[in-house]
Amino acid sequence: MTSYLISGIIFFNIAVGVYYGLLNSVYTLLLSIALFTVIRHGSRAKYTEDRLWLYSNETPPVSILIPACNEEDVILRTVASALVQEYPSFEVIVINDGSEDKTLQLLIETYNLQKVDQLYRDILKTEPIKGFYYNKEHPNFLVVDKEKGGKADALNAGINISHYPYFCSVDADSILDTSALLKIMVQVVESKVPVIACGGDVRVLNGMDHPEVQGNAPELPESSLAMFQIVEYLRSFLFGRIGWNALGGSVILSGAFSLFLKDAVVRAGGYDRKQVSEDLEIVLKLHRLYAHEKRPYKIDYALDAICWTEVPEKIGQLGRQRRRWQVGLLQACWKHRGMIFNPKYKTVGLFSLPYFLFLESTGAVIELLGFVVMPLAYYFGLLSVHYFILFLLLALVYGTFLSVATILLEEMTIKRYPSWKHLARLLLYGSIEHFGYRQINAWWRLQGIFQFFFMPYSWEYVHKSGKTHSDHESHKTLGSEDVKQ
């Protein structure tokens, strides 16, 4: 028995070494690519004129779809930011997914909406529609009230109703920069290969007072939990997404802000209601569809198309979100397991999916198992204390290096945190996130894995407070005033 245990510990130690070696190699590769891309983007920005598209009839019209369930605290500011987009032609469709609060009522009152009739063609099957609300003074704004069916179902309903060839999914708690839609579309129209989906850069909204309004200085939140997430989001978007995108292996486009070619999504069967991470699953479906049809395509990422989203500031909510992400990742990977290591899907099949499944999602298990195995290894005399301390130190130093490098990338691109205080705080949180925050994250992810294997799961809306910096009334005022202008 003891010999088995010792063999197990030795095997685990070797596995950990290989795992960290592989993971950090991928991180280094992604970071190098991101650095190169960001420098290139910065130099290109000096001579490209995206705004030419703003005044052109050639810019394709877009439907902005905002699924909302019990979002009375945030819906008005989201709609307001969507309606003031600097874009030639677009419509905003809010899909009220069976809200039990005042979401629908607030929209009706603020925008003086009237109930109208419209025939509903359920090209993608959805829960029944209860009504349409419209005001001819806001001809590009429509609210759809439907029975509750989850975010995927709401998005499918939005797709059925939308009029334009492209649609953009925006979370009900997210605020778009005024030029976000234009920037994401420029990426699509200027690409030689047809872009069927494109993700935007999602930033943390907490602590800010209408960051989408020019001239408003962004602020950082007081909450440490939100600060950790800012560093996390920067790392995920500024080197993860950029790196995978450059390698042609984008599999994750944030549900908070992504653009899709409607025809492609409809042909792929729309969003899957059974999936917890419908945004990840739809991208995999699109990869499958186009690889099967052998048509050229690209799934892209626009690093300067910015959307601000609220992150949980309560530990319970954050834990729930992270468990959901983990379940979603495993669920989508399981559903599309045929893609893994399949050369037909090129970078996605051979690298991205295996990376997310075997390196990202198992990280939590390895990390937490380490807390059990290391004392055992010490007990059996299998652990060199010097070696262990050095290994641990390297892991911490490298993790900090990645976070700090990401903050440098932010400085080189959008630079949305202008004051010295912001920079110092970001660097501080980038350095200390490995002491506690990372471990608790690993614990939630482990719970997510357990949930995936042993417990039933379904999609759930996460309630957002809407208390970023300004209060509810000011969102309401901005919403109606801006639209009137």
357 binds another protein (CB under 8 A): no
Smaller CB separation from another protein, 176 or 186: 186
Selected from 178, 400, 474, 480, the binder of another protein by CB under 8 A is 400
Angle, CA 337 vertex, CA 331 and CA 341 arms, to 5°:
135
CA distance 485 to 119: 31
119 binds another protein (CB under 8 A): yes
484 binds another protein (CB under 8 A): no
CA distance 309 to 177: 11
Q: Minimum distance from CB of 55 to another protein (Å)?
A: 9
10 binds another protein (CB under 8 A): no
Task: Pick the closest to residue 95 from 129, 62, 122, 118 (CA basis).
Answer: 129
Helical ranges in 190-261 per DSSP H:
224-235, 242-246
DSSP annotation of 199: E
Window of 6-14, 77-85, 363-371, 393-401 that interacts with another protein by CB under 8 A? 393-401
Q: Which of residues 421-450 bind another protein (CB under 8 A)?
A: 423, 427, 431
Smaller CB separation from another protein, 43 or 105: 43
Selected from 6, 26, 84, 131, the binder of another protein by CB under 8 A is 131
404 binds another protein (CB under 8 A): yes
What one-character-per-residue DSSP string does 343-376 give? Answer: GGGHHIIIIIHHIIIIIITTHHHHHHHHHHHHHH
Number of residues that bind another protein (CB under 8 A): 45
CA distance 463 to 442: 23
CA distance 81 to 232: 25
89 binds another protein (CB under 8 A): no
195: enclosing H helix or E strand: strand 195-204
Strands across the sheet containing 174-176? 114-116, 129-134, 141-146, 90-97, 62-68, 166-170, 257-261, 195-204, 298-309, 174-176
Q: Minimum distance from CB of 388 to another protein (Å)?
A: 10
401 binds another protein (CB under 8 A): yes
473 binds another protein (CB under 8 A): no
Q: Which residues bind another protein (CB under 8 A)?
A: 43-44, 46-49, 52-53, 56-60, 114-119, 121, 131, 189-192, 384, 386-387, 390-391, 393-394, 397-398, 400-401, 404-405, 407-408, 411, 420, 423, 427, 431
